[in-house]
Amino acid sequence: MSRTFFPVSDAMLLLWAMNYKEKIGIYATVFGMTPEDLAREIEYCDAIIASVNMVGSKKTLYQSAVQARTKTVATEGGALRANIGHHKTAPNYTEVIGLDLGIVTHNAALDFANYKAKISAELYGGMVRIKFRKMYADGINLYRRKKGGVEWGFVARITKSPFDYSFVLEVVGQPEHWEYRAFGVVDDTEVGFPSDIVEVIYGI
What letter does residue 137 receive in the DSSP assignment?
Answer: S
Angle at 36 between CA 50 and CA 10, to 5 degrees: 20
Per-residue pLDDT tens over the stretch 38-81: 999 999 999 999 998 888 888 888 888 888 888 888 888 888 88
Look at residue 168 and give its three-state secondary structure. Answer: coil
Are 141 and 119 within 8 A, CB to CB? no
Q: Which positions ≥6 away from 180 have C-beta within 8 Å?
A: 119, 121, 128, 130, 142, 143, 144, 155, 197, 198, 199, 200
- Flag the least confident range among 3-12, 141-150, 153-162: 3-12
Q: What is the rounded average pLDDT of the residues 107-130?
A: 84
pLDDT of residue 175: 92
Give the Cβ contact number of residue 183 at 10 Å.
19
Gap between the Cα atoms of 12 and 21, Å rounded: 14
